[in-house]
Structure 1
Amino acid sequence: MTGLEHLAVLAAGLGAGVLTSTVGVASLLSFPVLLAVGIPPVVANASNTVGLVPAGLSGSWGYRAELRAHPRIAAAVIVTCALGSIAGATLLLTLPPGVFESVVPWLILFTCLLVGAQPTISRWLAARRRGPAPERHGMSPVTTAFSVLTGVYGGYFGAGSGVMMVAVLGLGTDLELRFVNALKTLAVLASNLVATVIFLVVADLDWTAILLLAAGSVVGGYVGARVGRRLPPTLFRVLIVVAGVTTAVVMLV
Structure 2
Amino acid sequence: MTFLTLVLLVAAGFGAGLVGYITGLASIVSYPALLLAGLPPLAANVTNTVALVSVGVGSSAQSGTKLLDEPRRLVALGVLSAAGGLAGAILLLRSPPGSFETVVPYLVALASAAVLAQPWLRRMAGHRELPIVFAVGIAIVSVYGGYFGAGAGTIFLALALVTSAHPLWRATLLKSALLGICNLVAAIVFAATGPVHWVAAVAMGIGCLAGGYAGPPVVARLPETPLRITIGILGFALAVWLAVR
Please state how far the C-alpha of 1:187 moved relative to its aligned partner: 1.4
Q: Distance in 1 between matches of 2:49 and 2:144?
A: 12
Partner of 1:148: 139
- Residue ranges of structure 1 left out of the alignment (5+ in a row): 127-132
Partner of 1:158: 149
Structure 2 SS opposite 1:204: coil
Partner of 2:237: 246
Partner of 1:191: 182
CA contact (8 A) 1:77 1:186 kept: no
Please state how far the C-alpha of 1:158 moved relative to its aligned partner: 0.7
CA contact (8 A) 1:20 1:56 kept: no
Partner of 2:163: 172
Q: Distance in 1 between matches of 2:102 and 2:162?
A: 26
Higher CA-based Rg? 1
The AA in structure 2 aligned to 1:160 is G
Report the TM-score, using the length of structure 2 for normalisation: 0.94
Partner of 1:129: none
Partner of 2:89: 89
- Sort the Cα spacing of 1:218 and 1:90 in 2 relative to 1 into closer, same or farther, 3 A: same
Please state how far the C-alpha of 1:167 moved relative to its aligned partner: 1.2
The AA in structure 1 aligned to 2:180 is L
Partner of 1:46: 46
The AA in structure 2 aligned to 1:249 is V
Of 160-169 and 69-78, deviating more is: 69-78
Please state how far the C-alpha of 1:31 moved relative to its aligned partner: 0.7
The AA in structure 2 aligned to 1:239 is T
Q: Distance in 2 between matches of 1:211 and 1:78?
A: 24
Please state how far the C-alpha of 1:111 moved relative to its aligned partner: 0.9
CA displacement, residues 92-124 of structure 1 (integer Å, 9 cap, x when unaligned): 111111112321101110111111111111112
Partner of 1:181: 172
CA contact (8 A) 1:51 1:210 kept: yes
CA displacement, residues 159-196 of structure 1 (integer Å, 9 cap, x when unaligned): 11111011111111111111111101111101111001
Q: Distance in 1 between matches of 2:42 and 2:203?
A: 18
Q: Distance in 2 between matches of 1:116 and 1:183?
A: 19
Structure 2 SS opposite 1:225: helix
The AA in structure 1 aligned to 2:118 is Q
- Residue ranges of structure 2 left out of the alignment (5+ in a row): none
Please state how far the C-alpha of 1:147 moved relative to its aligned partner: 0.7
Report the TM-score, using the length of structure 1 for normalisation: 0.91
CA contact (8 A) 1:74 1:186 kept: no
Partner of 2:74: 74
CA contact (8 A) 1:20 1:59 kept: no
Q: Distance in 1 between matches of 2:60 and 2:221?
A: 15
Please state how far the C-alpha of 1:74 moved relative to its aligned partner: 2.4
1:6 aligns with 2:2: no
Q: Distance in 1 between matches of 2:95 and 2:19?
A: 28
Structure 1 SS opposite 2:112: helix
Q: Distance in 2 between matches of 1:43 and 1:78?
A: 26
Partner of 1:233: 224
CA displacement, residues 113-152 of structure 1 (integer Å, 9 cap, x when unaligned): 11111111111221xxxxxx8x63xx62222111101100
Structure 2 SS opposite 1:39: coil
Structure 2 SS opposite 1:51: helix
Alignment of 1:19-38 (within 5 A): 19-38=19-38
The AA in structure 1 aligned to 2:103 is V
Percent identical residues: 38
Aligned residues: 244
Structure 2 SS opposite 1:63: helix
Q: Distance in 1 between matches of 2:35 and 2:25?
A: 17
Please state how far the C-alpha of 1:232 moved relative to its aligned partner: 1.8
Q: Distance in 2 between matches of 1:74 and 1:225?
A: 18
